[in-house]
Amino acid sequence: QSALTQPASVSGSPGQSITISCTGTSSDVGGYNYVSWYQQHPGKAPKLMIYDVSNRPSGVSSRFSGSKSGNTASLTISGLQAEDEADYYCNSYTSSSTLVFGGGTKLTVL
Amino acid sequence: QLQLQESGPGLVKPSETLSLTCTVSGGSISSTGYYWGWIRQPPGKGLEWIGSIYFSGITYYNPSLKSRLTISVDTSKNQFSLKLSSVTAADTAVYYCARQGTFYYIDVWGEGTTVTVSS
């Protein structure tokens, strides 16, 4: 299975909004509403931010939102804060009953 | 609060078998609807899903690792385990154990354990 495609890096200033894309195929992202997003700070375990395309777990800020169109899912962070600087990974269920991650996106808050 | 803790050797020789165990506390590994998985992250690289198991023993494996991989569960000890055979330097990574909610997302992670493959 091939990794989902994410931009290597994105950046934004405090208070701005950014969007991270995650492109797959009809066998993963496009075929199921089972896309999740994870935030990872250096040296730490990943943290679930979005599941089932657009649902936020309890305790995750409403500044984080997810969506999907066709084979591409997106994570949007509004009102950027310094603490949002981290790596972000998307993940999708696949037609082979497996999970596949994206390559990861480094978010820099300027 | 559910917690997961990985344990096992931090150094494995090439061609040998990497073995890790994940101990679940604060909840039962036999809870219906939850799957238990392994994810790894090579140094400076991204996350890779390795595979998952249900408490009944049903397994799901990453096709790229399937020929070398065994995941098992011991409900009496509230543990699940990973065995990866014929390891090479490419298997050097931080290995995380985790809970998959309804399989489709990973909602609880262990802190991770570093495994280095080297002679």
B35 lies within 8 A of chain A by CB: no
Cβ contact B72:A29 at 8 Å:
no
Q: What value does the mean pLDDT take over residues A90-107?
A: 97
pLDDT value for A46: 98
Taking chain B (119 residues) in consecutive chunks of 10 residues, what is each chunk's mean pLDDT?
96 98 97 96 98 97 97 97 98 98 94 98
The answer to whether the Cα torsion of A92, B100, B65, B95 is positive or negative is: positive
Across the interface, whether the CB atoms of A101 and B49 are under 8 A apart is answered yes
Which band of pLDDT confidence, cut at 50, 70 and 90, is reported for residue A1?
confident
Across the interface, whether the CB atoms of A1 and B103 are under 8 A apart is answered no
The C-alpha angle with vertex A2 and arms to B40 and A97, in degrees rounded to 5, equals 75
pLDDT value for B102: 86
pLDDT value for B101: 85
The token pair at B14 is: 């090439």
What does each C-alpha distance from B60 to A43, A97, A107, B34, B117 come to in angstroms?
Answer: 28, 7, 32, 13, 24
Specify the DSSP class assigned to residue A32.
Answer: -
For residues A56 and A62, what is the distance between their CA atoms, to the nearest angstrom? 8
The token pair at A41 is: 């700070």
Q: How far is B56 from chain A (nearest CA, A)?
A: 17
Determine what percent of chain A is predicted with pLDDT higher than 90: 98
Quick: pLDDT tens for A24-51: 999 999 999 999 999 999 999 999 999 9
Cross-chain CB nearest to B63 (options A1, A45, A51): A1
Pairing type for strands A47-50 and B59-61 reads unpaired
3-state secondary structure of B68: helix
Contacts for B99 with CB less than 8 Å, ≥ 6 apart: B2, B4, B24, B34, B35, B36, B37, B106, B107, B108
